[in-house]
Amino acid sequence: MSLIIRDLLSSDIGPAVRLLEECRSLPDTKQTDIAQFVNDVSSGAPGVVAIDGDRIIGVIQARVVSDDAWINVVTIDPAWRHQGIGSGMLLRLEDKLMHLGVRKISALLSPSQAGETALVNRGFSAIHDLILYEKVEPIAPTAMRIVDQYGGEILSPDLWDRVAGMHAEKKIIDGRVVAPLADPTTAERVGVKAPATVLLFGPPGTGKTTFAKAIAGRLGWPFIELLPSKLESGGDSMSSELRQAMMELLQLERAVVFIDEFDEIASARERNPATKGVVNELLKMIPSYRSTPGHLLVCATNFVGDIDAAVLRPGRFDLVIPIGPPDLTARLALWEAALSRVNQQGIDIEKVAKATEGYTPGDVELAAQRAATAAFDRIREGIEPSYICSDDIDAAIARTRASVTGEIRQRFGEEAERFARV
Ligand SMILES: Nc1ncnc2c1ncn2[C@@H]1O[C@H](COP(=O)(O)OP(=O)(O)OP(=O)(O)O)[C@@H](O)[C@H]1O
Ligand SMILES: [Mg+2]
């Protein structure tokens, strides 16, 4: 049964109290005033629970007073400690609190009580001999309203580590994008300019959106995606809507603004005259992004060759980064993830990874599902083996076409030669 982290609801009070009672006598658990907890939750105080199956195994709850929040309850079932559950719950709680306009979150814990690691992991700093933990959220409540208005989110720094393999891409993005933005003072000392605009290009499903989110997560900046389809939906023309959105987002102290399927709004003017106004607007906006530190515009496309040449010129996009199909390490990790939690035997994952060049993460998932279905059908008919075997995987791979075909790979190679600027 997989673990779920979600908001604490008033219907959780019963099982949550049971956990609080169970953990009450543990020396490493923060003492909880249960009556106060029931009262707070009934009156809508924000909280988060971790659930395994139908059992609550973690509770964290806060009380909000104007723009301050106090974490009153932090309890994790002892059997579930040290697995990052505290950090996961805290991340979600922090997100909720920020949306409620909270600027400072505090928690009072004794040293080594459950939850201490989570606070440290989430960037809280200990005050007064490691007793009082505090964190000032990087985003002011007014800014959070703008983030909310555009459906933006604060993403976890862990996203970066969850991108499997892709060492070449990671090295470029880490060194050229994240590091200079995270430490502009050191970068500027040697004349390195932090990028303001980055274009990611590559075949579908190779991780462009994933990388854009991972960058925002690592920087701790809000991630706001501007959807071309949404921009069109309003009454105004797309170009004025784009300008308005991008201008408004510049008011934030920091932000990663992401435009996916960038070719749709910035295709070559002669190819798609309808986008002319949008391209002009974008060209006008880019200098504002460049002159406002703390703002990164990330665009992604599968069709870099279709983008208007004027948009691609140096001075517009600081970096143009190719994101290739998952490399061998990435495929190994993807296959391992797909097969680690199922009943399987005798599968040589390395061989499988080698045999699936051109597979995207979606392809790996599809092939793994097909192999699983074959084993499931056998089990239902009472035929052995009753687990996923090497033959199932081989058959599934034979049936599952790689999304990144030789032709696409070749085109990508040529585009990387022609357009990459890192
Ligand atoms: N290196 C990776 N490791 C693990 N999962 C990955 C990796 N790259 C991509 N994924 C997963 O594959 C899926 C597709 O990735 P993503 O949406 O980022 O691709 P994309 O390049 O933006 O695709 P598109 O061009 O279709 O927009 C996502 O579910 C993502 O989590
Ligand atoms: Mg994408």
The number of helix segments (H) and strand segments (E) in the chain equals 20, 12
Of ligand 1's atoms, which has the minimum distance to the CA of residue 207? 18
For residue 213, give the ligand 1 atom closest to its CA.
18
Q: Tell me, using a 6 A CB cutoff, whether residue 352 lines ligand 1.
A: no
Nearest bound ligand to the CA of residue 204: 1
Residues 6+ apart with CB under 8 A from 59: 8, 12, 16, 19, 20, 47, 48, 49, 50, 73, 74, 75
- Protein residues with C-beta less than 5 angstroms from the ion ligand 2: 208-209, 260
Q: Ligand 1 centroid vs 180 CA: distance in angstroms?
A: 25
Domain spans in the chain, listed from the N-terminal domain onward = 3-137, 146-324, 328-399
| Domain 146-324 superfamily per CATH | P-loop containing nucleotide triphosphate hydrolases (3.40.50.300)
- Give the distance (Å) from ligand 1 centre to CA of residue 205: 5
Contact 144, 98 (CB under 8 A): yes
Local confidence pLDDT in tens for the 422 residues of the chain: 478 999 999 889 889 988 988 887 777 777 777 878 888 888 889 999 999 988 999 999 999 887 889 888 888 998 888 888 888 899 999 998 988 888 888 887 766 677 777 877 887 777 655 555 656 565 666 677 888 888 899 898 889 998 888 889 999 999 999 999 999 889 989 999 899 999 999 999 889 999 999 999 999 999 999 987 666 544 457 788 888 888 889 988 899 999 999 988 888 777 777 777 888 888 888 889 888 889 999 999 999 999 988 889 888 999 999 999 998 999 999 999 899 888 999 999 999 999 999 999 999 999 999 999 999 999 999 999 999 999 999 999 999 999 999 999 999 999 999 999 99
Task: Indicate whether residue 295 lines ligand 1 (CB < 6 A).
Answer: no
All residues at 6 or more sequence positions from 416 whose CB lies less than 8 Å from its CB, including other chains = 322, 324
Domain 328-399, architecture per CATH: Orthogonal Bundle (1.10)
Structure tokens at 114: 């459950």
CATH superfamily entry for domain 3-137: Gcn5-related N-acetyltransferase (GNAT) (3.40.630.30)
Atom nearest to 204 CA in ligand 1: 25
For residue 318, which of 165, 183, 181, 150 has the smallest C-alpha distance? 181
Residue 258 structure tokens: 């992401």
Instruction: Write down the pTM of the prediction.
Output: 0.69
Ligand lying nearest the CA atom of residue 359: 1
Which atom belonging to ligand 1 lies closest to the Cα atom of 166? 1
- Asked if 146-324 and 328-399 have one fold, the answer is no
**211 C-alpha to center of ligand 2: Å?**
9
C-alpha 20 to ligand 2 mean position (Å): 42
